[in-house]
Structure 1
């Protein structure tokens, strides 16, 4: 195969890989959001919080892989304007998904500061009679729940990824516009729902 044709095939493969990873990221962050919305409610439990942490880890891993793949594709010589536009569109969608994911992490941190899991149940920490948390055995001030410390690390990781994205590729978000679509071309309803589930269902973006 000629070098130019081989590069074109590699480029198209990169677009497909990034699109698949973007769909997986949307699914992971959507699942994470559903778990965050249950924090502090009747369905809250140590098991739910562990599942939230697992979904967060999955989303972070997908984010790192997608970021690397998109940077490689964007830094290569463009094969066609359409493929370049598709990579830029995926970059902006990725940026938006991470920003929403970060908002959910902040929400989870706030709720975990209000409610702490004690044993098999959930105990409110903010009673109006004292400060945050429970007193330590040594009689000191309130201690920070381990879940909150873990969330701080997750938040810093996502913030660092967003900062790296802003410096890694100069793609202004205003260069894309929202469009409506029922499903990607060549996909039946079942496949489309599986690959395009979550908050991205039924919506797309086009490069201006």
Structure 2
């Protein structure tokens, strides 16, 4: 294989990896948002809050990997103009996704302060539903960090990542414009199937 062709294959591989990671991140943050919206409701409880924390950790791990992959691709000296435009588009989409994720973390922090878990794992909202009290939540065990403290750490980690992204690549968000979605429409005639598969529905961005 010719050297130029090998470089092109590596570039397409980097873009493909970032596209897959972006889709996984969209799926993780969407799942996290659904859990945040249930805080303080009838389905709230230790299990939901543990699942929210797990989804948040998954989203933060995916964000770290995607940031590294995008930076590595953008710093390739031999990347073609087309490949660089696609990586820049993904970079701006990643920034937007991370900012929305940070907003959800702030919302979760606010709700957890209002509906804090009492001793025994019972939230102050009385819904008539039982089964929230779990053996591991009934005192007598080691002291665990509060939900507010954990969320403050999560918020600070995402905020620091956003600051690193802004200084790591000089890609102004206003250099992209909305374009028609490139997501293929399924046999059902809608993009809902793609959304269920973890893709971000709606319009995409193109570099100006």
Normalized against structure 1, the TM-score is what? 0.82
Give the conservation status (yes or no) of the 8 Å contact 1:179–1:204. yes
Distance in 1 (alpha carbons) for counterparts of 2:7 and 2:197 = 26
Q: Structure 1, residues 42-97: CA drift from partner, whole Å, max 9, x if none? A: 11111000000000000000000000000000000243222111000000000000
1:75-114 equivalent positions in 2, closer than 5 A = 75-114=75-114
Give the conservation status (yes or no) of the 8 Å contact 1:78–1:84. no
What secondary structure sits across from 2:179 in the alignment? strand
- Segments of structure 2 that go 5 or more residues without pairing to the other structure are 126-143
Distance in 2 (alpha carbons) for counterparts of 1:152 and 1:91 = 25
Higher strand fraction (1 or 2): 1
What secondary structure sits across from 1:116 in the alignment? coil
Distance in 2 (alpha carbons) for counterparts of 1:193 and 1:156 = 29
Give the conservation status (yes or no) of the 8 Å contact 2:192–2:201. no
Q: Structure 1, residues 135-175: CA drift from partner, whole Å, max 9, x if none? A: xxxxxxxxx97111000110010011001100000000000
* Other-structure match for 1:173: 173
Higher mean C-alpha displacement, 78-87 vs 163-172: 78-87
Distance in 2 (alpha carbons) for counterparts of 1:73 and 1:191 = 29
* Other-structure match for 2:123: 122
**Alpha carbons of structure 1 residues 55 and 196: separation in structure 2 relative to 1, 3 Å:** closer
Distance in 1 (alpha carbons) for counterparts of 2:178 and 2:68 = 25
Give the conservation status (yes or no) of the 8 Å contact 2:15–2:86. yes
Distance in 2 (alpha carbons) for counterparts of 1:182 and 1:76 = 25
- Segments of structure 1 that go 5 or more residues without pairing to the other structure are 125-143
Higher mean C-alpha displacement, 187-196 vs 101-110: 187-196
* Other-structure match for 1:35: 35
Higher mean C-alpha displacement, 39-48 vs 176-185: 176-185
Matched residue pairs, number?
186
What secondary structure sits across from 2:116 in the alignment? strand
Distance in 2 (alpha carbons) for counterparts of 1:26 and 1:181 = 16
Shift, 1:179, TM fit? 2.1
Q: Structure 1, residues 15-53: CA drift from partner, whole Å, max 9, x if none? A: 000000001101100110111111111111110000000
Shift, 1:195, TM fit? 4.3
